[in-house]
Structure 1
């Protein structure tokens, strides 16, 4: 995203036919796109960090819970031993009751001491049981939170797989014509070479290209919560300024905007989900040393990203 938007600004700097007002507007758009790119990266990174932290916290809490169980068991054992001693001394007291007042007095004192110890251990055991119960509740809460995060992530992944399959099905007629579809990093990437969309040096979409874009738009219209970034790319051949085009940056931006314009014809696609960006020759996917490589680099990339509102809400709560 950063390279794409930098392209826009450098295009404007390089050209002399853009007015200060337009320059300011594009500079503002650059800042907005840059911020959105950072937000998406930060959201994705924060999500992974949060999941790892939640898992670590869960492990620590489990260890603390296990340690509390050991302490509770030890207190129960001490309680049992103390009670057994008390019962033994009580029996001795009853046997000696008729024979020795001094022995009775000694046993009575021991009984009182043992009773005091027994009460102390009972209180400690009750306190530890309460603490154990609190830890158990916290452990269950943390476990549920981790499960919820994993469930949402799995759901988003499944949604993107289904979206990729739907797009592949809708655009099957264009396979082998410069169109590729792949999923990586939780996003779906639709790449269309310029030979499918534009004539050389033009940003007007041809008949076949328009058909492909509109079929893609039909799928996007059924998925209104997907963010859509359209990037225009060129090879590294210098573009001789002519007409309304000043350089490769300008051409790539106009081509991306042309795709957005076609997608907007579908009323089910939210306009605020669409972003157009020109990256010129600065994001190649193949060497520009061969005709085949140059053809691959002259392309439109449609990058589809799921909304992360549910994950954000879960993390905030």
Structure 2
């Protein structure tokens, strides 16, 4: 065994003696140079790989931005198309709205014309009534217009005796003049209203002020129909009792004002509508 060890050592010594020191140093330098080049190449490779990774990421980001821009562009194109459609629809809607407003304005104008015509007829009626009743005492008969309705109020003193439902002779003269006017105004109907004060009444024929107001109204209606030929279809008899006063009932003067019969002249609804329809035809 010792022989073998000695033999190996001898061979090694012999081999090392065969390579000169200069060559060894040259080989060592080349190896160092090669290692340096390898290290430099490795660093450059790593930098290239890093740059490639960054470039790939930027390219991906740019591609995503490009896709977003394409999508936005398409959406804008679609919205422009929708906007064009909406603008056209808006123009159509606006045109229809304007046409509707014109129609409404025209209807309002026609209605105003019809009301003007009705007011003209009402004014003619008031003028006629004041003409035939102008010589009567203003305290006994009053004519006024409220909201296009004509009211003729006749005092209880002129029409009836105290607590009576019998029309006086002097009142018949007044009713005859009223009948002459309303008979010439076929576009109107009228209602006869009886009104009382708050003094209670109770007789064999009259139970209370309701009865008294209604009976007085029907007495006036019958005279207009029977004595002066007023069409009964145009008349309505109504009693308001003591519940629509025009003055307080604390004084004799106030009670006298509340005891009255009122003739309310009303335009016929169908006649009024005919005026509107005629007004529409005139404008067309």
TM-score range, shorter chain: 0.5 to 0.7
Rounded to whole Å, the distance in 1 between the matches of 2:91 and 2:117 is 38
Number of the residue aligned with 1:281: 242
8 Å contact kept, 1:286–1:294: yes
Number of the residue aligned with 1:256: 217
Number of the residue aligned with 2:188: 226
**SS at the partner of 1:282?**
coil
TM-score by length of 2: 0.61
Number of the residue aligned with 2:149: 187
8 Å contact kept, 1:177–1:196: no
Rounded to whole Å, the distance in 2 between the matches of 1:219 and 1:310 is 18
Q: Which has the higher contact order (CA 8 A, sep 6+)?
A: 1
8 Å contact kept, 2:140–2:154: yes
Of 206, 215, 233, which residue of structure 1 is paired with 2:177? 215
TM-score by length of 1: 0.55
**SS at the partner of 2:238?**
strand
Rounded to whole Å, the distance in 1 between the matches of 2:140 and 2:95 is 62
Number of the residue aligned with 1:299: 260
**Shift in CA distance, 134/282, structure 1 to aligned 2, threshold 3 Å:** closer
Residues 1:197 and 2:159 aligned together? yes
**SS at the partner of 1:230?**
strand
Rounded to whole Å, the distance in 1 between the matches of 2:126 and 2:171 is 19
Of 134, 137, 140, which residue of structure 2 is paired with 1:175? 137
**SS at the partner of 2:241?**
coil
- Which ranges of structure 1 fall in alignment gaps of 5 or more residues? 1-119
Of 236, 241, 252, which residue of structure 1 is paired with 2:203? 241
Deviation at 1:233, TM superposition (A): 1.0
**SS at the partner of 1:224?**
coil
Rounded to whole Å, the distance in 2 between the matches of 1:176 and 1:311 is 31
**Shift in CA distance, 218/288, structure 1 to aligned 2, threshold 3 Å:** same
8 Å contact kept, 2:202–2:208: yes
**Shift in CA distance, 205/129, structure 1 to aligned 2, threshold 3 Å:** same
**Shift in CA distance, 128/283, structure 1 to aligned 2, threshold 3 Å:** closer
Alignment RMSD (CA, Å): 3.1
- Which ranges of structure 2 fall in alignment gaps of 5 or more residues? 1-81
Rounded to whole Å, the distance in 2 between the matches of 1:129 and 1:235 is 66
8 Å contact kept, 1:152–1:310: no
8 Å contact kept, 1:193–1:298: yes
Deviation at 1:259, TM superposition (A): 0.7
**Shift in CA distance, 241/217, structure 1 to aligned 2, threshold 3 Å:** same
Rounded to whole Å, the distance in 2 between the matches of 1:162 and 1:210 is 23
Rounded to whole Å, the distance in 2 between the matches of 1:258 and 1:312 is 32
Number of the residue aligned with 1:164: 126
**SS at the partner of 1:253?**
helix
Of 104, 108, 112, which residue of structure 2 is paired with 1:150? 112
8 Å contact kept, 2:187–2:271: no
Number of the residue aligned with 1:23: none
Deviation at 1:311, TM superposition (A): 5.6
Larger Rg: 2
Deviation at 1:164, TM superposition (A): 1.4
Residues 1:140 and 2:99 aligned together? no
